[in-house]
Amino acid sequence: MKKLGLILAGAFVVGTLLVSVSVSPVYAAKEALWEEAFDSMEEGEETGLIFAGALDVDMQVQAKVVNGAKGKALKVSPKEGLDYSTNYNMFGVKKDMSYPNENAVISFSYFASGISGLNVMTNNRVIPENCEAKITGLIQGKWTKVVLRVSKFKVKSPKGTIKTGDEFRYISIFANINSAAPLKDQYFVLDDIKLTIGEDEAKGDEKKK
């Protein structure tokens, strides 16, 4: 498990990126199965997240102080001395957990710097196969919120389709390395991570702001 160090950084959430615009069935009461915020965390405290992929990463809790923003967030960056560009062209974090696709919605805020892409992956245990959502219109250098409906994730092979009630395991959030930028300048920051099931959180009439 990774240890956390306190550093300074930041900006504040100034945009919202909605990645699904169709309406799914509404289930009983919305329930949060996973919520991850970092405001109350202290230096050295563990997050419960592990690194995703073949190579290790650095995870650090940081204070959001620029432009009067308050609170903390989790910075994820490539680990110094490892060759991500040739051995594994991505880095990120993973939450080990199981959850049903009862209108499952994943949301979080991110701040990206230098990376070429940001993705979310989970594994459908019924098909079984990995399923992925790519963050379209990636915004660099500005806090942005995304809302992702798991039923809209792309299945990595034509083995089957995602259905209501399918069981899933783990959630990974990872960045793609930008080969044209110095590795030391590439990172992303996460905050307000949430997984809900039940009543719809991503309404069909919401638009990108």
The tens digit of pLDDT for each residue in 90-117 reads 899 999 999 999 999 999 999 999 999 9
User: What does the domain layout of the chain look like in residue ranges?
Assistant: 13-34+83-197
Rounded to two decimals, what is the model's pTM? 0.77
What pLDDT digit, counting tens, does each position of 48-106 carry? 788 887 678 888 887 664 444 568 889 999 888 877 776 678 899 999 999 999 999 99
Phi-psi sector, 30: left (phi>0), alpha (psi -120 to 50), beta: beta
Does the pLDDT of residue 23 top 60, yes or no? no
Using a pLDDT cut of 90, give the percent of the chain over it.
Answer: 46
Provide the terminal-to-terminal Cα distance of the chain, rounded to the nearest Å.
36
- Look at 194 and 8; give whichever has higher pLDDT: 194
Q: Match domain 13-34+83-197 to its CATH number in 1.10.443, 2.60.120, 1.10.3470, 1.10.530.
A: 2.60.120
Continuous segment of H or E residues that includes residue 190 = strand 187-197
196 DSSP β-pair partners? 32, 105
